[in-house]
Structure 1
Amino acid sequence: MAVAYLGKENGVPVNLVSKLMHVDPSFVTTHSKLLEKNGHLRRKHCASDARVVQMTLTAKTRKRLLTLAPQQQALDELASEFGASGSSEFITKLAAIRHRLEKVRRQSGSGLPKTKRTTVRNDAR
């Protein structure tokens, strides 16, 4: 999405994407290679500086993103209802819930809390 957002014709350099996403450039490099392998992205070295890798979306990916646009718009509208501080608080709460669910899963081994087993009998004949 960062490559689509920045949307330059000649491609987007890895370092620019990493700055936008607030991640290390090695993270972008690793994941862009996976996306390239799956046919979602093209990576090529810059003509003026071979150290710089430019990334562009493939036609397949652009087409797929267009089909997802209505869903993305709905998510953007939902996020805007929270505002900047509200969405951060919501994300923090979701992370806490996830942590608790993972803890329960580890403790029970099945993903659900252990409960007392009961037998239901059907006596209607």
Structure 2
Amino acid sequence: MPRKAKLGLAVRSSAVDAVTAREFSTIIGSLAVHLDEIRHYRAGSLGISGPQFAILTTIQRLDEGDGVSVRHVAGALHVDSSFITTQSKLLEKKGLLGRQADEADARVVKLFLTDKAKKQIAGLAAGERALNAFIFAGLTNDAVAELTDQLTELSGQLEKACLKIAGGF
């Protein structure tokens, strides 16, 4: 029987049993698959792949006006910089992304959205708002924010766990 939990309640436990941890992992995996499907469909409406859409939206989120380095985009998406370089060149050919050398360090390539990309992404906004209203129906902004905070904290712990495992834990 599935567990029911109220969002927004922080439960701190020093020991989570193996069954609960596996159930949690399964649910998170399922969420990742569904979010990837949604990204794929949204990307398709722009004529690009899901990962390319993730690159564009990551640049949109991180850019403070002077572009975002390939390294920062790769870090945010947890992929290798060479993947971002390859995909950014394809997005540049489609007129959705600009690439330029950083003024302070010519070895660093900065990425930025073109006006075409900004316009196309903005065109998806109404559909995104409706989809979010459906997905998060019945939840308050505070509950979603708290869940996001908890998942961010868990993500940090998972990252540390990966380092421990790689180190022979």
Fold shared per TM-score above 0.5: yes
Cα distance in 2 for partners of 1:77, 1:16 equals 30
Match of residue 67, structure 2, among 11, 23, 30: 11
Question: For residues 63-102 of structure 1, what are the structure 2 equivalents within 5 Å?
Answer: 63-78=119-134, 80=136
Counterpart in the other structure of 2:89: 33
- Deviation string 1:64-98 (CA, Å, 9 cap, x unpaired) is 111101222334445556x87xxxxxxxxxxxxxx
RMSD across aligned positions (CA): 2.4
User: Aligned partners of 1:41, 1:25: CA distance in 2, in Å?
Assistant: 16
Q: What do residues 1-26 of structure 1 show as CA deviations (whole Å, max 9, x unaligned)?
A: 11111122110101111111111111
Question: Percent of counterpart pairs with the same letter?
Answer: 41
Point out 4+ residue stretches in structure 1 off by more than 6 angstroms.
Answer: none
Instruction: Report how many aligned residue pairs link the two structures.
Output: 86
Q: 1:79 to 1:37 in 2, by over 3 A?
A: same
Return 5+ residue gaps in structure 2 as ranges: 1-56, 138-143, 148-169
Q: 2:35 maps to which residue?
A: none
**TM-score w.r.t. length of structure 2:** 0.45
Higher relative contact order (Cα pairs below 8 Å, separated by 6+ residues): 2
Deviation, structure 1 residue 49? 0.7
**Alignment partner of 1:9: what SS?**
coil
Bigger Rg over Cα: 1
User: Aligned residue for 2:101?
Assistant: 45
How much does 1:51 deviate? 1.1
**TM-score calculated relative to the size of structure 1:** 0.60
**2:124 counterpart SS class:** helix
Gaps of 5+ in 1: 85-125
Secondary structure at 2:85 match in 1: helix
Secondary structure of the corresponding residue to residue 42 of structure 1: strand
| Residues 8 and 75 of structure 1: CA distance in aligned 2, closer, same or farther (over 3 Å) | same
Determine helix, strand or coil for the equivalent of 2:71.
helix
Aligned-partner Cα distance in 1 for 2:126–2:74: 26
Task: State how far apart, in whole Å, the 2-side matches of 1:62 and 1:34 are.
Answer: 17
